[in-house]
């Protein structure tokens, strides 16, 4: 059971470079999300998807792009990296439980530590 | 405007005693409230949740209490164990929108042997 897999685990970029953070889940979950966590802060939503072909912006979407061509994959693209994007990035997936009392919990990957110099 | 707040950045308790972590929210439209636990260099993992129609949910050593009138929830851990030392995040979501969960800033719990 792989769950949610994120690659790479660590990445160092120079300002202005672009890159893609990969996220894949093998649980056939409908929903996938990208969050970032800055020191001393909670997780802030960047983008999310409710299914293949459907994405929407979260709280802090600027500087990031996403697409969802398959149920399994939800890559996050940094268009032109900036030092303010130095953070830990978490991908998460979830399903629509539709019933009490399970709620709608998120399954997280182990994160990508990104540093932009 | 932070919709979910955890006002205590850290908490230290003795092994065997009760740990109480608190969380406040402002949006009365939230349907679910969840607690996640996070160890260093790992992703958060789900711990326990409660629906807005309930006032208590218990799972082993963990109990979550919800006070809707005060827009306040708390996580009780009894008895606390050293392995419980971690960062605990409070989160809230609306039904069908788990992917849009809103998180607090977290409370670092340290359980001393």
Q: Is A103 exposed, middle or buried (0-12, 13-18, 19+ CB in 10 A)?
A: buried
Whether B95 and chain A come into contact, CB under 8 Å, resolves to yes
**Per-residue pLDDT reduced to its tens digit, B36-88:** 999 999 999 999 999 999 999 999 999 999 999 999 999 999 999 999 999 99
- Residue B90 Cα, gap to closest chain A Cα (Å): 9
A107 to each of A2, A4, A71, B66, how far by Cα in Å?
Answer: 11, 7, 15, 23
Flag if B99 and A32 touch (Cβ within 8 Å). Answer: yes
In this structure, are residues A32 and A52 in contact, taking their beta carbons and an 8 Å threshold? no
Q: Residue A98: what pLDDT?
A: 57
Q: How would residue A97 be classed by pLDDT, with cut points 50, 70 and 90? A: low
| Backbone region of residue A24 per phi and psi (left: phi > 0; alpha: psi in -120 to 50; beta: other values) | beta
Flag if A42 and B97 touch (Cβ within 8 Å). Answer: no
In this structure, are residues B29 and B97 in contact, taking their beta carbons and an 8 Å threshold? no
Q: Residue A61: what pLDDT?
A: 96
Q: Which residues pair with B107 in a beta bridge?
A: B88
């Amino acid at each position: 059971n792989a769950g949610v897999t994120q690659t790479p685990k660590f990445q160092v970029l120079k300002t202005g470079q672009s890159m893609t953070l990969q996220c894949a889940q093998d649980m056939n979950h409908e929903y996938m999300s990208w969050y970032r966590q800055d020191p001393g802060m909670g997780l802030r939503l960047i983008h999310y998807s409710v299914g293949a072909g459907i994405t929407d912006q979260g709280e802090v979407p600027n500087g990031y792009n996403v697409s969802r061509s398959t149920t399994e994959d939800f890559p996050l693209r940094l268009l032109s990296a900036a030092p303010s994007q130095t953070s830990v990035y978490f991908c998460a997936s979830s399903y629509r439980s539709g019933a009490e009392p399970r709620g709608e919990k998120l399954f997280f990957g182990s994160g990508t530590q990104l540093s932009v110099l | 405007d932070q919709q979910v707040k955890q006002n205590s950045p850290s908490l230290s308790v003795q092994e065997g005693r009760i740990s109480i972590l608190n969380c406040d929210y402002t949006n009365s439209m939230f349907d679910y409230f969840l607690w996640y636990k996070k160890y260093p260099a790992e992703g958060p993992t789900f711990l326990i949740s409660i629906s807005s129609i309930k006032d208590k949910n218990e799972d082993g050593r963990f109990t979550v209490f919800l006070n809707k009138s005060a827009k306040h929830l708390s996580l009780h851990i009894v008895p606390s164990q050293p392995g419980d030392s971690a960062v605990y995040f409070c989160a809230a979501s609306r039904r069908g929108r788990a992917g849009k969960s809103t998180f607090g800033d977290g409370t670092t719990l340290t359980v001393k042997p």
